[in-house]
Amino acid sequence: MSVLRVGNASGFYGDRFDALREMLTGGELDVLTGDYLAELTMLILGRDRLKDPAAGYARTFLRQLEECLGLAHERGVRIVANAGGLNPAGLADAVRRLADRLGVPVRVAHVEGDDLGARYPGSLTAHAYLGGFGIAACLREGADVVVAGRVTDAALVTGPAAAHFGWDATQYDRLAGAVVAGHVLECGTQATGGNYAFFAADAAADGHAHTGARGGGGGGGGRDLRRPGFPLAEIHEDGSCVITKHPGTGGFVDVGTVTAQLLYETAGARYAGPDVTARLDTVRLAQDGPDRVRVDGVRGEAPPPTLKVGRTRLGGFRNEVVFVLTGLDIEAKAALVREQMADAFATSRPSQIRWELVRTDRPDADTQETASALLRLVVRDPDQALVGRALSGAAIELALASYPGFHVLAPPGKGSPYGVFEAAYVPQEDVGHVAVLDDGRRVPVPPPPSAAARVLEPVAEADPPEPLPPGPVRRAPLGLVAGARSGDKGPDANVGVWVRTDEAWRWLVHELTAERFRELVPESRDLAVTRHSLPRLRALNFVVEGLLGAGVASQHRFDPQAKALGEWLRSRRLDIPEALL
């Protein structure tokens, strides 16, 4: 059967608004997907729904369709998005009204069954991560637009692929290939040079950082990263694919950009989903020309017997004040204001108080800003009053009675609610996965036939290659030889680290142990750190449990989603063989 060309036009709720039009006009496509959901997004949509029961979906998706629905219909491109959020039925109805107003004859279907709020009282949201076969059922019945709620990100690709090629639920290798394609596409421009660890080194090698939107796929040409194009996958019937982008768009696609995205928010060799367990240790990547990376060899196994359920709830209230400390005696100034605030908290103490001194100051600085350090105070409590006026009053009353040069970045407010993310698991057969067609028919989607018999076990790691022979070393940042990409999964952080040559892999796999990781990232020293090895990708994936507290919505740390954790790791210095530098 023909190749299925699946594009992506959104990696998160708030991504580039014009991407839908860019993808529809930039080249050939069969299906255009959009990923709008994340753990934090579900909390935001949950709060929206508290104010308006008819809300709960990504409203920007409707505005994008208002500009592009007619264009998609003219070009025969089907649109599949999880913009339905907490209310896919409501979004489907809104799309139908929009299509009627625009005079565009499209059939709109949606997917239901993910909402498990009734099973988890006290939750703001509770949604199972569904697979792609509900989307596939909608497409097989002729839907032009499919809106879903909390499906997995990869389901936006596995569903169209299963529908197009006629795959059944036991064709695990093909489904696993589509999962890998979906995982690469899901974050949009992260597959085309966005957020890429080697962006500066590669631009320098090209001789310029911005000129030339074409090329860059592994040899020659400029790599314009000012506005990377969105990715697409040319999927074949056997599950293999080529990751690429529309001609003439910015950014670039090479083995490095695809490797980085494969490691994003994953862990070990088994990448479990509701449709299939993809074996990431079997993935083969090869440059297939400029801006083209072939992905094949992916093996699949039966999915686990349970579905993940993402739960959000309100955890309490949070407030923050940032004191600016300028010039001399930074440590003494910080100590003084901490003592003064401790006195204020003696009578009304929040349950959580966290201080952090960020030394952004430089000696003999030539601007006031670079002569200043930041002292962050974050407080949390179930009682808003304890983090609101109590904090605001105590901080502002110090304005004329504290350290010299006292000022804050902004006056503290009354305290805002923060969220908590928790994961649960339910048997696949307990979730009523349903495709709701344009004419109102409801098509039940059965659970995978063999899921209940499978329990995932870790994959035994292969013996590492021989280490490099002894030789001279130089103290240098890890990032001179290794790339990294990091992210969040609930309370845990993951950091994928990869290198681009076999010689560098021989060094990395022996050098960067879990123990060395803890040394380089001191915040992880008291936490569980698990290392996973993926030799075919020349990559290591580290999972740091509990680093993010109760998840991104709790804003537990300075970088609540661990987006820059990998870049911090790359900046750390260790002894690197000179032969690699």
Reduced to 3 states, what is the DSSP secondary structure of residue 51? helix
Token pair listed for 133: 């076969």
Give the 3-state DSSP-derived string for 281-317, with helices as H, strands as E and coil as C: HHCEEEECCCCCEEEECCEEECCCCEEEEEEEEEEEE
| H helical segments located in 372-426 | 384-387, 389-396
pLDDT of residue 224: 84
| pLDDT-wise least confident of 40-54, 98-112, 194-208, 272-286 | 194-208
pLDDT of residue 452: 57
pLDDT in tens, 411-446: 888 888 888 899 999 999 999 999 999 999 999 999
Token pair listed for 509: 């796999």
Contact between residue 259 and residue 218 where contact means Cβ atoms under 8 Å apart: no
The DSSP string of 50-109 is HH-TT--S-HHHHHHHHHHHHHHHHHT-EEEE-TTTT-HHHHHHHHHHHHHHHT----EE
Contact between residue 159 and residue 274 where contact means Cβ atoms under 8 Å apart: no
Our separate counts of H helices and E strands in the chain read 15, 26
Give the separation between CA 561 and CA 95, rounded to whole angstroms: 32
Close Cβ partners of 413 (under 8 Å, ≥ 6 residues apart): 319, 388, 392
Amino acid identity at 423: A
pLDDT of residue 1: 63
Give the separation between CA 36 and CA 52, rounded to whole angstroms: 20
Confidence of residue 204 (pLDDT cuts 50, 70, 90): low
Span between the terminal Cα atoms of the chain, in Å? 47
Give the separation between CA 11 and CA 145, rounded to whole angstroms: 18
Give the separation between CA 526 and CA 8, rounded to whole angstroms: 39
Confidence of residue 293 (pLDDT cuts 50, 70, 90): very high
Confidence of residue 205 (pLDDT cuts 50, 70, 90): low
pLDDT of residue 198: 95
pLDDT of residue 203: 62
User: 238 vs 385, which has greater pLDDT?
Assistant: 238
Give the separation between CA 410 and CA 412, rounded to whole angstroms: 6
The pLDDT of 341-364, averaged and rounded, is 91
Give the separation between CA 442 and CA 327, rounded to whole angstroms: 68
Whole-prediction pTM: 0.92
Reduced to 3 states, what is the DSSP secondary structure of residue 211? coil
The pLDDT of 301-309, averaged and rounded, is 95
The pLDDT of 10-23, averaged and rounded, is 97
Contact between residue 421 and residue 553 where contact means Cβ atoms under 8 Å apart: yes
Percent of the chain with pLDDT over 70: 95
Neighbouring C-beta atoms of residue 109, cutoff 10 Å: 28
Residues making up the chain, counted from first to last:
581
Strands 78-81 and 145-147: parallel
Residue 254's closest CA among 216, 284, 221, 214? Answer: 216
Confidence of residue 211 (pLDDT cuts 50, 70, 90): very low
Give the separation between CA 491 and CA 298, rounded to whole angstroms: 29
pLDDT in tens, 169-199: 999 999 999 999 999 999 999 999 999 999 9
Q: Could you tell me which residues are beta bridge partners of residue 573?
A: 477
Give the separation between CA 75 and CA 30, rounded to whole angstroms: 9
> Is the pLDDT assigned to residue 508 strictly greater than 80?
yes
The 8-class DSSP code of residue 266 comes to: -
pLDDT of residue 170: 96
Token pair listed for 189: 């421009």
User: 393 vs 500, which has greater pLDDT?
Assistant: 500
pLDDT in tens, 57-103: 999 999 999 999 999 999 999 999 999 999 999 999 999 999 999 99
Give the separation between CA 186 and CA 195, rounded to whole angstroms: 14
Reduced to 3 states, what is the DSSP secondary structure of residue 363? coil
pLDDT in tens, 446-477: 999 876 566 667 788 888 999 999 999 999 99
Alpha-carbon distances of 473 from 91, 318, 423, 518, rounded to whole Å? 59, 47, 44, 22
Residue 107's closest CA among 133, 140, 66, 131? Answer: 140
pLDDT in tens, 33-53: 999 999 889 999 999 999 999
Confidence of residue 151 (pLDDT cuts 50, 70, 90): very high
Give the separation between CA 420 and CA 317, rounded to whole angstroms: 11
